[in-house]
Chain A
Amino acid sequence: MLVNLVGTAIVVVLMDSDPWMQLQLPWLTPEIYSFILLVFGNVYWVMHFSFTNMRLMNIEENRKLLGFGFPLKRLAKYLTVIVFCHPVNIIYNFTWLVFLLIQIQHAYQIPVAIAAVALNYVLIYSIKSRFIRVVEKRFIAVVIGFLFLIFGLFQFISLLTSNSGQIIAEFIPKIETINLVFSWLPGGILIQTVTIDYGLTNAAIIFTFTSILVGLLVLDHFNKTKAGLLNPGLRKAEEESSKLWIVLRKILGRNAGKYYFYVMKHPYNRLQVLTLAVIPVVYVPLLLNVNYEIAQTILIPTILAGIPVALLAMGMANMYGYENREFLLHLQMPIKLEKQLKERFLGVIVLPLLVFYLITVFELLVIPEIGRPIEIFVANTFFFLMFMLLFIWSSYFQYQKATYSSFSYKHPIIPQKVTFAISFLIFSLGYLVFVPLNGLEWYRLTIMSTVIVIMGIYLWRQMDVLVNLFKNRVLMKLWNEL
């Protein structure tokens, strides 16, 4: 919230068109100031739309109250209100109010701005509740579309930065037209409620009309919530073919194949694989165009070394969380637990290892400027093994049930502690491993090779105690989930 408010204050107050600012920033003409406000307002609206949270609705859970005799109308009313009470929704709406009210020019604009913020929220809510259903039905298509959008945005920024002088020269004369377009986008319309002098009569008309619209939309939400409480999202079960299972079974065998099938069935993981495929395509060409040496010598190899690590994390950091209590069925099978765990363990590292080698070869052939072959190979191996240890530790000591809802806060696939450790370590290690040391390079190579050997031996020995770790750390938790 603080970040939101500080950002708003910086944009509106510090970039105000007072004489002092005009002296300090002569390029900040009223048109450019409006442009910045409009860009901020519209980007902020997109963020508001993306982050509006409806988690507190939880119809499936809350409808159980009806079984205890809770009145339907009252429950629907409470749920309509409670969704707004999610901290994220409160923060965004409050920030809108602050952002608009500090720009106010006439007192009559205050009720109009408040009504406009309310209308904006209920509209976002209405659109989003319908949008979520579309996303559920066409998940992969929406994700690919989103990734292409991000890719396009990056390319646009890249073009803008490389030809900034020419673009600005062409852009400045057209700024008023651009401002006009932006002012009729959602964020721009909200800004217009406090920047245009539309008079008291018009304000009264806009306020009345907006309030009626807000009332009708809230009534619509209330009726939809009521209908949702009475008709839970039961869908007729449809036949599903599991081609992925057949393929994985052929490649990895019935045990590891089944495990990887479970990993890939999780919607979050499918999204992660797609993201991992797109990140290098977007970032690496961008960073290669940058003239800073640090970008090429540290950032590119760190990003590339992070890809197999992310795949490894996906499969290994919470190995029993995907199946959870289902794994007990594996224990009933007439196959040694040691064998099952080892098959899984090896199955899980096959894909990241393949990607690891592909990336190393890619680095050696396409971007040799990032280092010598031995340096890249040793550094990548060090990176990979280091994280493998972290994930083995996480699988046994940080076990938790992974639910099948994406981005679950309560039961994420990878425990939050581990996610934090990974994010922190990837860049710290990247700096340690890839920063050029020139004459001291051989010292680092020797240290990394020694640690690799130690980690290799440790991992080999750890394979023999996987079963005990499983029995001591995970089994009772699985049994207790029954």
Chain B
Amino acid sequence: MERAVEIKNLVKCYEDEAVLKNLDLQIPKGTIFGLIGPNGAGKSTLIGVLTGLLSFKEGDIRIHDMPLNSDNELAIKRVTAAILQPPLLFEQFSSIEFIEYICEIYEIEEDGLIEKAYSLMDYFDIKDFAKIKVNKLSSGSRKKLAFVTAVLIQPKLLLLDEPFESVDVISIERMKSVIRRLKEKGVTIIITSHILEVVENLCDDIAILHHGKIKAYLDSVSRKELQKDASLHEIFEKYVEVEKKENIVDWL
């Protein structure tokens, strides 16, 4: 099976503290991959490393068969789009200026690009904000704008860190629908989320990250097997070794 992302023995430290510890992970091409884990597990750091924003201490990363190093950095960035949490946007531009700017950087010069941008904005109910400055948008609209832009630059690998946070229910469904269509086109999508129901319904494969290590990798086959007896929530609790703390708040 072809791999979109292949990570071997990845170590990432903040000063002396290791956040990702000898992490191994393979993500097949053309899948929707869910990365779940408690706060501080290292999900955002992993996204940061994959986008090239953070350097790493040890290990090998290959994205679309290209090693992530200075030689391939630009080629990898060209096929990758990422939405971080909170999303990074150019605050002083209007929404449409932001989209135009990013598309120009990624050399997307097809006919009707602006029409496509407007139709996608319309789909996510942010068309009225096209000429409004980004810093005036609500957090949900900002996330939708980042998503629209990421789709327009036609990536092969789409990294989404908490994409559904602050987004309304209707737009979440529309985002899921777009994500599925991107998958049909062969795009690999990596999603981190705390909403297990969304991950369960949307993702093909799921990995549980805890203390900087992959505790479990659930592909479609193993998920079916495991989920016969337990929900994803119960599986998650088992792997992150949730400590029972009810007695701490007995006073309530």
Contact = CB atoms under 8 A, between A and B. Distances in A.
Interface of A: 237-242, 245, 254, 258, 261-262, 265, 323, 325-326, 328-329, 331-336, 471, 475, 479, 482
B217 interface: no
B3 interface: no
Given A254-B101, A334-B74, A336-B74, A328 B53 contact: yes
Given A331-B53, A332-B51, A479-B48, 12 more contacts: A240-B94, A245-B93, A254-B101, A262-B92, A323-B90, A326-B91, A328-B53, A329-B88, A329-B89, A329-B90, A334-B78, A482-B85
A337 B136 CA distance: 29
B94 A334 contact: no
B105 A333 contact: yes
B151 to A, nearest CB: 15
Interface in B62-100: 73-75, 77-78, 80, 82, 84-86, 88-94, 97
Contacts of B51: 331-332
Nearest to B74: A334
B232 interface: no
Contacts of A329: 88-90
Contacts of B133: 237, 240
Please provide the 9 A-B residue pairs with the shortest distance between their CB atoms, ordered closest to farther: A237-B136, A334-B78, A329-B88, A239-B131, A334-B77, A237-B132, A334-B74, A333-B105, A265-B92
A333 B51 CA distance: 10
Interface residues of B, number: 35
Nearest to B51: A332
Given A242-B97, A471-B55, A482-B84, A334 B90 contact: no
B118 interface: no
B104 interface: yes
B38 interface: no
29 contacts: A238-B132, A239-B94, A239-B131, A239-B132, A240-B94, A240-B131, A240-B133, A242-B92, A245-B92, A254-B104, A258-B90, A258-B101, A261-B92, A265-B92, A323-B90, A325-B88, A326-B89, A326-B90, A328-B88, A329-B88, A331-B52, A332-B80, A332-B88, A333-B105, A333-B106, A334-B74, A336-B74, A479-B54, A482-B44
A335 B54 contact: no
* Residue among A239, A265, A323 having the largest count of chain B Cβ atoms under 10 Å: A239
A237 B90 contact: no
B40 to A, nearest CB: 14
A471 B91 CA distance: 23
A479 B47 CA distance: 12
A326 B88 contact: yes
Contacts of A242: 92-94, 97
A240 B90 contact: no
Contacts of A254: 101, 104-105
